[in-house]
Structure 1
Amino acid sequence: MQLIQKQRISLSLFFFLSGFNFSSWASRIPTIKQALDLNEAELGTILLTMPVSSLIGVPLSGWLVSRFETRIPLAVGFLLNSLALSLIGLAPSPGMLAVVLFLFSLSMRIFNISVNTQAITLQKQFDRKINGAFHGLWSTGGIVGVGFTTLLISLGVPMVPHLISVSVVSLLATVFTFGYLLKNDQSPSGNKLSFKKPDPYIMYLGLLVFFAAVCEGGMFDWSGIYFQEVVKEEVFTVGYLTFMTFMALSRFVSDKIIDRIGMATTYMLSGVFIFTGISLAILFPTFWPAMIGFSLVGFGTASVIPMTYTLAGASKTYSPGIAISLIATFGIVGMLIGPPMIGYLAHAFNLKISFIAFALAGLMLIPITRLFFKMQRSEADPFKVEAKEMA
């Protein structure tokens, strides 16, 4: 087997396990909520720890991927993330849970920036798009993780042995696959941030990720609770599982869809799917309408982040690692606002009404997409820009 194929398989495994680990935690949120006797506002406050620590991890991640081979922070970040996962189930109080989630999210951010930088670098060695498939494997890992959690819940397996077993598998996988990751991939240029003037290219891409993250992060944290408290479904993980399944399906075909209809149309269709899916779940909060709605939201959110990270790799100002870390900042802010906002809105009104925020965030993808690609067309046609200036 060629080295490039071994590298792709190794990266694929890390994407898969990352999704598996994250969904293992997210699927247990209703269990943690009940175990620690938290209301929606208290849970929202604790969840706020994750995007805050993730935001702190962005400049650290950017420095690490520009200073070292990206496989170093990738492996260290994933090992710490796996360790933190096992500690989540052992947290005896809300305060300790917040501390563990801080470490969990910080290490996850370091890993994410590193693994996505490796993916963008590896994709340049292929003559076709493969980034969507990587993110599809992340979602597939999430699906398997939710399915595994659902099985354990139905069998009455406690949370602690569940999360510890997942951590052990992740630690072993890191040891065995580390040697096949990309080496000597530091970028020789574009590793310094400029604060003189915001780069509009990064700004628009960041806003797209921001609104997608509001939806995606909120669905990760609240879809299970929505099915438990609004849809009144006893097996509450089914909502999260549906969302993740259709997200994965969309990501595996997204590369071909983008080649056929283009990125601009794909972004706008994503916004339409999110708005339609959330509206359906809100207006008809019963099992099948909610299932269909969550499926549409999965389709809608799926391709935004892999598309945007691919575009980040084409930045003329920054190296791929720095560009991804900058855009990831917007995503973190989206996750900073999304899940806690839903908790506070649900506490003030109700959970069903609070989901309107996701529908509005999905709609925002449409005007931002139009602005970004209008700017791209203008930059590609300097005579057009000159004519506008003369007018």
Structure 2
Amino acid sequence: MQLLNQQRIALSMFFFLSGFNFSSWASRIPTIKSALDLNEAELGTILLTMPVSSLIGLPLSGWLVAKLETRIPLTIAFLINAVCLSLIGLATTPLTLIIALFLFSLSMRIFNISVNTQAITLQKRYIRKINGAFHGLWSTGGIVGVGFTTLLISLDITIVPHLVSVSVLTVLAGLFSYRYLLRNDKSVTGNKLAFGKPDPYILYLGMLVFFAAVCEGGMFDWSGIYFEQVVQEDIFTAGYLIFMSFMALSRFISDKIIDKLGMANMYILSASLIFSGIALSILFPSFWPAMVGFSLVGFGCAAVIPMTYTLAGASKKYSPGLAISLIATFGIVGMLIGPPLIGYLAHLFSLKLSFVTFALAGIMLIPVSRAFFRMERIETES
């Protein structure tokens, strides 16, 4: 039991630091935009580097977790990601920024597949569910990263010492935690991708991750703008922070809720919360209704991806690493489509009406999850 706890603590450290790293970069985007004198179109084009790099990294990450113990690509990718964070801060031209972001996103994708594969393997050795808490720590690391960045900006600390210090801290913590990671978890079966008719098990889970990613990615990018333009609040970061905070809270308690309700009912609850939260924010676009609405959306989004990754680990056709890699592809596409789709709809209609997209994506979790569990029940009975 002591070894299991050490492995859980080490893995928790990697989840937390990954969230901390990502938010450290994301919260400095305005600084980078100003430093390189980029307009919105130029910045948007540069940011497309990340989902493109992630897509390239998916087959590579699936191959690595199939060939090696997950702790090896996990740690190497994490260390490269930390170094790339410094390279982002040191970038002085759009080209060097694109290169830094490409490597940052590529290493982050390999790390994410590896760390989630290890989390699912460790989950199988615990009686109670723990996977949601890992993702809660990622969100918590993100919140701490935003707070740390805000503090440094208030102290007039520039981007280079900020991101370099975060890199050094995470490299040291990663090297220390590596020794306690799960060993000998290389899967001997299910590592080959079968071409032909899509596997319904993976397809349904992928669709669930897709709709969740549309909501998450869109809320990450547009919640602050919604508060600024629709709610008309000067402190526009309130929407982003309340969404992130309730995502973190939900992920820490979602495992216990799932134990009470079951996964099938949890998807229905998640969909209902997302739909209700968006509806409240659209119908009553003032501060407190929007705050409550964004809280509900954060709470609803939080459990979907970790819960779906847990189900992926039970695939009879693919190993956990390859199953997660396949399902993550749907998530990246959702992250890629969601934010620009909101922008186009906002331009055609209004930002408030464009948020209906999130409500529709959220409610789609119900029919897709019901179809998945119906298929699983039929296979079990036959």
Q: Distance in 2 between matches of 1:359 and 1:95?
A: 37
User: Aligned-residue CA RMSD in angstroms?
Assistant: 2.1
Alpha-carbon separation, structure 2, partners of 1:291 and 1:163: 31
- Cα 1:348–1:29, aligned 2, differ >3 Å: closer, same or farther? farther
| Per-residue Cα deviation, 1:191-229 (whole angstroms, up to 9, x for no partner) | 101012211001000000011011112222333343344
Indicate the larger mover: 364-373 or 337-346.
337-346
CA deviation string 1:78-137 (max 9, x = no partner): 111112222223333444433322221111100000001111111111111111111111
CA shift at 1:50, angstroms?
1.4
Residue matched to 2:53: 53
Deviation at residue 22 of structure 1 after TM alignment: 1.4
Instruction: Tell me the equivalent position of 1:162.
Output: 162
- 1:149 to 1:287, Cα distance in 2 relative to 1, 3 A: farther
Looking at structure 2, the residues matched to 277 and 317 of structure 1 have their Cα atoms a distance apart, in angstroms, of 37
Alignment of 1:307-386 (within 5 A): 307-382=307-382
Which residue type is aligned with residue 122 of structure 2? L
| CA–CA distance in structure 2, aligned partners of residues 87 and 356 of structure 1 | 38
1:38 CA displacement: 4.9
Shift of 1:33: 4.3
**What's 1:81 paired with?**
81
State the partner residue of 1:211: 211
- Taking the TM superposition and a 5 Å limit, the aligned residue runs for 1:104-183 are 104-183=104-183
1:357-377 Cα deviation digits (max 9, x unpaired): 222211211111111111112
CA contact (8 A) 1:264 1:369 kept: yes
- The number of aligned residues is 382
Name the CA distance, whole Å, in 1 between partners of 2:257 and 2:57.
33
Q: Deviations for 1:21-60, whole angstroms, at most 9, x for unmatched residues?
A: 1122222334444555555554443332211111111100
Structure-2 separation of matches of 1:33 and 1:309: 35
Instruction: For 1:160 and 1:319, locate their aligned partners in 2 and report how far apart those are by CA, in whole Å.
Output: 41
SS in 1 for 2:179: helix
Partner residue in 2 for 1:199: 199
Amino acid at match of 2:258: I
Task: Identify if the C-alpha distance between structure 1 residues 111 and 134 changes in structure 2 by more than 3 Å, giving closer, same or farther.
Answer: same
Partner in structure 2 of residue 288 of structure 1: 288
In structure 2, how many angstroms separate the alpha carbons of the residues matched to 1:282 and 1:30?
27
Correspondence list, 1:57-76, <5 A: 57-76=57-76
Q: Rate the CA distance shift 1:333–1:182 in 2: closer, same or farther, 3 A.
A: same
AA paired with 2:218? G
**How big is the shift at 1:308?**
0.5
Residues 38 and 361 (structure 1), Cα distance of their counterparts in 2 relative to 1, 3 Å cut? farther
| Superposed CA offset, 1:126-177 (max 9, x none) | 1111111111111111121122223333334333322222111111111111
1:24 equivalent in alignment to 2:24: yes
Q: Distance in 2 between matches of 1:13 and 1:367?
A: 36
Q: 1:240 to 1:31 in 2, by over 3 A?
A: farther
CA distance in 2: counterparts of 1:159 and 1:284, whole angstroms: 38
Cα 1:80–1:306 change in 2 (3 A) is same
Q: Distance in 2 between matches of 1:40 and 1:105?
A: 20
Distance between the aligned counterparts of 2:350 and 2:47, measured in 1?
18
Q: Is residue 8 of structure 2 the alignment partner of residue 8 of structure 1? A: yes
Q: What pairs with 1:94-109 in structure 2 (closer than 5 Å)?
A: 94-109=94-109
Structure 1 runs not aligned, ≥5 long: 383-391
> How far 1:252 moved relative to its partner?
0.8
Q: Which amino acid aligns with 1:280?
A: L
* Counterpart-to-counterpart distance in 2, 1:341 and 1:157: 35
Moved more, 348-357 or 127-136: 348-357
Amino acid corresponding to residue 116 of structure 1 in structure 2: N
**Identical-pair percentage:** 76
Q: Is the 8 A contact 1:47 1:340 kept in 2?
A: no
Question: Which letter does structure 2 place at the counterpart of 1:199?
Answer: D
Distance of 1:348 and 1:150 partners within structure 2: 34
Corresponding residue SS for 1:127: coil
- Tell me which moved more, 224-233 or 240-249: 224-233
Once residues 162 and 231 of structure 1 are traced to their aligned partners in structure 2, the CA distance between those partners, rounded to angstroms, is 32
| Structure 1 pair 282–200 and aligned structure 2 pair: CA distance change class (3 A) | same
SS of 2:90's partner is coil
Q: How does 1:237-252 map to 2 (within 5 A)?
A: 237-252=237-252
Structure 2, gaps ≥5 residues long: none
Secondary structure, counterpart of 2:273 in structure 1: helix
Answer with 7-16 or 22-31: which moved more: 22-31
- Inter-partner Cα distance in structure 1 for 2:77 and 2:96: 21
Return the offset for 1:349.
4.8
Name the structure 2 match of 1:386.
none
Letter in 2 for 1:106: L
For residues 205 and 344 of structure 2, the distance between their equivalents in structure 1, rounded to whole angstroms, comes to 28
- Would the alpha carbon gap of residues 313 and 355 (structure 1) be closer, same or farther in structure 2, given more than 3 Å must change? same
1:188 aligns with 2:188: yes
Say if 1:271 and 1:365, in contact at 8 Å, map to a contact too.
Answer: yes
C-alpha distance in structure 1 between counterparts of 2:94 and 2:356, whole Å: 28
Counterpart check, 1:258 vs 2:279: no
